[in-house]
Structures are given as structure tokens and as C-alpha cells.
Chains A and B, each alone.
Chain A
Amino acid sequence: MADGPLLEVQDLRLAYRTSRGLVQAVDGVGFDLRRNEALVALGESGCGKSSLAKALLRVLPRNVERVSGQVRLDGEDLLALPKERLRAEVRWVRIALVMQASMNALNPVVRVGEQVAEPLRTHRGWSRVHAMEQAAKTFELVGVATDFLQRYPFELSGGMRQRVVLAMALVTEPEVVILDEPTSALDVLTQAGIMNVLKRIKTELGTSFLLITHDVATSSEIADRVALMYAGQLVELSSAAEFFSVPAHPYARMLMASVPRLREGERPQHIPGQPPSLLTPPSGCRFAARCPERFERCAEDPPAFALSERRRVRCWLYEREGEA
């Protein structure tokens, strides 16, 4: 199996039209994802992380002004691919997307087994019986008893519905699964159960994950690498080991200090101020207004400095250490 990146994103930009002007929700984001790797896109609400997920598969709302950049899957640019080919060869076949709150978007009048089998019938042309067999296998994989295949969504609890949605994404055995806030509406025990399922799938099937979340603790449950986003930009890309023990960007450090911890007596510290408006973003570093370490240089927009082969930080503090 090739060791090169499976998915490569370069200079991805996405802007929305609004009544008050253009909102640059994703602004020059770039990263790569290898096989069997889990990358977490972490950020507060409004940082552009969900728009990023949608842009990758071009599942875009109508008010999108433009998308630019490159999203290469095994070298082929998905943004340049004709729509029919994207639908027939990529979506749900090689990359599956589980959108936020999709557990509430199951069809209420169709048995969940049929809904899970549907991608196989539409994308692969499998027979109903064959597809249902595969759906049953996937149910076992995500920890749902196979007699649930015959149930309707309203008969299942939230945690079970989330597992069904996961099964739906996994049934075609895609290489990449993108999950947008898969556990945010769930209880603590259910949440831990879902994360256990994701870990198992990663080991057993070798799937690559892109997990989008605002929750630092949850992100550490699966992350091999972390991409921290702030105001539409990627400000730090690090391995999980680096990010959770020695975060580099000042925002990353403050974010880690703001996380409430169960096993430490220290009270979390909040980050003063608010993220800038994406309608009129500041010209220099976007975090400068809230940053305790800002200096003259921060009036200019910092490039991403490479601290190591796969670690990048968008902050002037690292100008000497890293290469732009």
C-alpha cells in the first residue's frame, strides 16, 4: 500500500454570500491525511470547520460564492471532477460524510436496515438480499444487534441512532470517513461507547478519519494528528502527542488551559475576547487581538512555519525556528 497521502488538501477557500457581504468561512486551509490516520479538525463554533467538511465533498449550500484550491484523493482533484463522477466514484464509495445531527435526519418511515443498505443498492447496484446481509455485518461492527435492522428510527435511542448513521457511512467500506460532531448531542456514557466503536473500526478496517469537533477531550480519543482552526484559518497542525502536551500556537496553549479537567484541581482559564467577524477579518494575525504574546510583527499575516516535517504553526513566534 502506498505510504503517500491518501487525501491532500491545498489552499482550500470557501466564501458565503450574505446580505452583509462575503464571509470567508474557509481561508487557505491545507493538510494531508494518510491511510489509517485520524485527523481532528478542532475549533470553536464559527471557525469554519463544518464548512471545511462540506467543501471537501462539494456538498454545498446555495449561498456559496466560490470554492477554490485543491482536494486531491490519490492525486485526483475532487474540486475539478465532474459532478456525475464525484457522485458515482467518490461520495459514499471512497469518502463518506456523517453530517452534524444526521442521526435526526433518518427517514422516519423506513426501517433502519433498509436505510443502511441503501448506499449499496444505489452506488453498487447490489440486490436487496445481498445488501441487507452486508448491512447486518455492519450493524455488528458498530455494536447494534441485528434484530434492530427491522426497527424504525423512533424505536431507537439517540446513541443507537448515531450508531446506525455510522453503519450507513461504513457499509460501503469507504477509505475516508468524515464525521462532523458525531457525539455532541449524546450523553457521556453513550459518547464513550461511540468513540470506542470508532477506535475499533480504525484498527479493524484501517479506515482514515477526519473528525470535526469543538471538544478537545473528545478529539483526543481518536486523534493521530490535530488541525486547529481559528477564524477560517488553520493555525496549528501537529501530531496528537505534540498538540496535547506541548501546543505551539498561543491560541492552542490558551485553548488547552481553558479545557475543564476532571482529574486536575486547577480551574480552567477562559480566553478573553471573541473571534473576529469573518465579514471583515483583521489584516494581520487573526488571533492578535486576544493574544498575550503579540508584538509588532503580528500586524502582518503570518505564514505557516514548518517546525518539523509534519508540524506547522501559523504564528510569528516561530519565524526563526521554522521555514515558511
Chain B
Amino acid sequence: MTQAVANVQSNDPLLAVEGLRTWFELRQWGFLRVGWVRAVDGVSFELVRGEAVAFVGESGCGKSSLARTLLALHRPTAGSVVFEGRDMGALEKASLKDYRARVGYVQQDPYGALPPFMNVRRLLAEPLIVHGVTDPAERERRIRAVLEEVRLTPPEELLYKFPHMLSGGQQQRIVIARALILAPHMVIADEPVSMLDASVRVEILSLLRRIQQERELTLAFITHDLATVRHFAERIFVMYAGRIVEQARVDDLLDQPQHPYTQALLTAIADPDADNARRARQVPGGEPPSLLNPPAGCRFHPRCPRVMPGRCDVDEPPLFEPRPGQRSACWLHA
């Protein structure tokens, strides 16, 4: 809130990602190069200021590697990440630190994300100290404000507690507070509730969504749980084997899924209903491909019920736009 002054025009995208690849080298015995794990392999998208989006995919689809690349924790192998008009790849060490202050990170495992020897006050002061807030009174004021914002009140009761003295939900609120304390313009939440009990999940997601709207943040959820996140995001990006296969507004994606993988995903997700027990779900067999040696053409083609031999297994499909604002990487739309 304090530093959220827009220094670019609001119709520009906040984040523009173009042809992003994050590959990891695989070595044997420490020096023989065996190949590359193509965790993120040709991803392009844009996020605008103040929107909440979700990257949805199964484990191993590259969604966490994408998140960590956007956080500048991995160097992209190719492609560009342009945040607020500046290319992240070209940033010097000092400006990279500045970039990290403007992108908050909410980790999956709150207990693992909080150093056990730091109390809450110290945990929240740390980023302020690192980023040059030298006045202790100012730090104290901001710590209290952010604790109020994540509804950990009264702050006095929590300031001197250590992570193990807090419940999972409280720990995750501290992680969120820490991500927010430098007034970022974007927050990336990687599976923010998958380690929490079902009854507190909705509470944490509602909190993130409310803060996102109040601060007009850009919020990116990384998750495997489409049924939950659809209530907290405006746009969905569906990932499969290192690529985005479909992107659309939530309602469009749920009503008119275009990509066969999205269709399979929606068929596989059950809503509680006693009739479920009486019918089998039509889901494709097989498993997602190895990212070390992905299949040629469309990566879903070995499992796809609508595969067109000679096309899908040869050429990589580009993103088509079969419906306005809805893009799908599938030859069916050609």
C-alpha cells in the first residue's frame, strides 16, 4: 500500500513472458552430460496489474519451476521475462534484489519456509533489514500493520512466538505477511494450502484474495487443485509437460474447455454426489511424458482420445484462439 505507486501505464502488462524455457542439466557421475530436463519449455503469457490467475497442472508439469523462474530463483535457459517494462534477464545483482522486493513468494510448506530459531517479529523484520529499512520504529510499525492485515490480532500476542508454537494456518499467515511486507506488486503463491487441513484452506485462500483486491496486486496461484482455485482466480492457465496448453477466463474454461487435456482434467474431477459411485469416469490412460525426452509434436498426443496421426505426433501445435480470449494449443482448432 505504501509504495504501490504505478510507474508504468496501467494498460501495459505487469508481466510479459515470451518463449520462456527453464531446462535443468542432468549429469552422470557429476560431469557427464546425459541430457536436459525441460521443466519449462516454451511458455508465453501476459499478466495485467491487479488480476488473480492460476497455473494449474499435475505434478511434474513444470508449474513450480515456472514459479521459481519468475521469482528469479532459476535462470531462464531461453526467452524473456519482462516485469514492469524491464527484462529480468538483463538485471544486475543490485536491481535483481530490487526485483525480488517487488515479487512476493508464498511457499507450499509454511513450517519449512520459516526458520525455526526466529520469532515472528524477527521473521518479519528480516526482509525490511535486508532491503534497507533502517529505522526500528518504522519497521515495528510496518510489522504490526501487516500482522493486522493477515488477521493475526492482536499483534502483541504473536510477536514473540516461534513457528512451532503456531498452528499450520497461523504459520501460513506469517508466510503471507512476510511476502507482503515489502509491498510487492505481484505475489506468487506455490500450492499455498496443500499442506494445510481442509477446514483452513478456504480461509487462507479467501485471505489472499481479499488482500489481492485491496492492494490491487497481481496474484498468481500455482496449484494442482482446479476445483478450489477456480473460486479465487479470474483466469486459468492449464499446463501439461512443461507447456501451457490452454488459457482462458475461469467460466469459459469450465463451460467450454477447448483442449482435450483440459477436457480430460475436468472429467476426472468429481463433485460430491452419491451417483458418482455408479459410473466410471472416462479418463485417458497412461502417464505424463518424461520431461527428459518428451514426445515430438503435441506432448499430450500419446494419451489424447482425439489424436490425428501424422499431425499431432509430428508438429508442435501453436496457440490457437478458438473462442475470444480463450487460447488452446491443439491442432483440432486449425
Contacts and interface: CB of A to CB of B under 8 A. Distances in A.
Interface of A: 38, 44-45, 143, 157, 159-160, 187-193, 195-196, 199-200, 214, 216-224, 239-241, 243-245, 256, 258-264, 267-271, 274
Contacts, number: 114
B138 interface: no
B197 A262 contact: no
B227 A261 contact: yes
Interface of B: 58-59, 167, 197-203, 206, 224-228, 230-231, 254, 264-274, 276-277, 280-281, 283-285, 287-288
7 contacts: A192-B281, A193-B283, A222-B277, A240-B277, A243-B274, A260-B202, A269-B202
Contacts of B283: 189, 192-193, 196
Contact of A221 (B225, B254, B276): B276
Contacts of B281: 192, 195-196
B226 A214 contact: no
B286 to A, nearest CB: 9
Given A187-B224, A216-B272, A220-B277, 14 more contacts: A44-B198, A157-B287, A188-B226, A190-B287, A191-B268, A196-B280, A199-B280, A217-B272, A220-B272, A220-B273, A241-B274, A260-B202, A262-B266, A270-B201
A240 B274 contact: yes
B268 A263 contact: no
A85 to B, nearest CB: 34
B274 A220 contact: yes
A133 to B, nearest CB: 25
A44 B197 contact: yes
B272 A262 contact: no
Given A217-B272, A218-B270, A244-B272, A262 B202 contact: no
A268 B274 contact: no
A244 B274 CA distance: 6
A259 B200 contact: no
A189 B197 contact: no
A155 to B, nearest CB: 12
A214 B280 contact: no
Nearest to B270: A217
Contacts of B280: 196, 199-200
Most buried by A among B198, B268, B273, B281: B198
Contacts of A38: 277
B200 A270 contact: yes
Given A187-B59, A196-B283, A214-B198, A220 B264 contact: no
A259 B277 contact: no
A206 to B, nearest CB: 15
Contacts of B203: 270
A271 B196 CA distance: 14
Contacts of A244: 272-274
Contact of A261 (B266, B271, B274): B271
A214 to B, nearest CB: 6
Given A270-B202, A270-B203, A259 B272 contact: yes
B272 A189 contact: no
Nearest to B287: A157
A259 B231 CA distance: 11
Given A189-B265, A220-B277, A241-B274, A270 B199 contact: yes
